[in-house]
Amino acid sequence: MMFLEPKFTIQQLIDRCKTGERKAQELLYKQFAAKMLVVCMRYATDRMEAEDMLQNGFIRVFQKAADFRGDGSFEGWVRRIMVHSSIEYYRKHHKMLQVVNTDDVGNEPSVNPLATSNLDAQVLLSLIQQLAPGYRMVFNLYALEGYSHKEIAEMMGISEGASKSQLSRARTILKEQIAKMEGKSYGYAG
């Protein structure tokens, strides 16, 4: 006969994780793994790498569970750990990030196809995934996670100028890809 799992609130699971209870860790993992895999996918080169990032991130979540004070949402706290863990994983397993010349900043077209496009989220995420790793990481951190260029520079070990230029170039590439998909031309080189 199969026994049903008792229902726990997130706070109860957090409290149990703080004591190192394995079953609570498993339940918490099941609660957040799918959402956090999506976060890791933004920084990974493929699904296998994203799953490694996810595992490393959850190890850190469980190690630091006692540090969660409840000032914000637990999901947001876990998400920040996943982002930092993904960046750390990337830096450990990949060579230097591609950095572009800051002269490229400001050479973007005035039309913003990202704002006017009717692409669905899955297609846009796929385009982001195809960016060079450095561009992808800066774009994700700035546009999707809301970090400042100063914070990105500190996390990635680059200058603020490099962060700004990487973001600019990532946006330009995405605009070009979207324009190609929509059969439009905005008059800039690709």
Per-residue pLDDT at 184: 60
Beta strand spans in the chain (E)? none
pTM of the model: 0.71
Per-residue pLDDT at 95: 59
**44-79 pLDDT tens trace:** 888 999 999 999 999 999 999 999 988 889 999 999
**120-140 pLDDT tens trace:** 777 888 888 888 888 999 999
Per-residue pLDDT at 104: 43
Per-residue pLDDT at 6: 62
Helices 74-93 + 47-63 axis angle, to 10: 120
Where the chain has pLDDT below 50, the residues are 1-4, 96-117, 185-190
How buried is residue 92: exposed, middle or buried, by Cβ count under 10 Å (0-12/13-18/19+)?
A: exposed
The amino acid that residue 87 corresponds to is I
CB 133 within 8 A of CB 98: yes
How much helix, strand and coil, in percent to the nearest 5, is found in the chain? 65, 0, 35
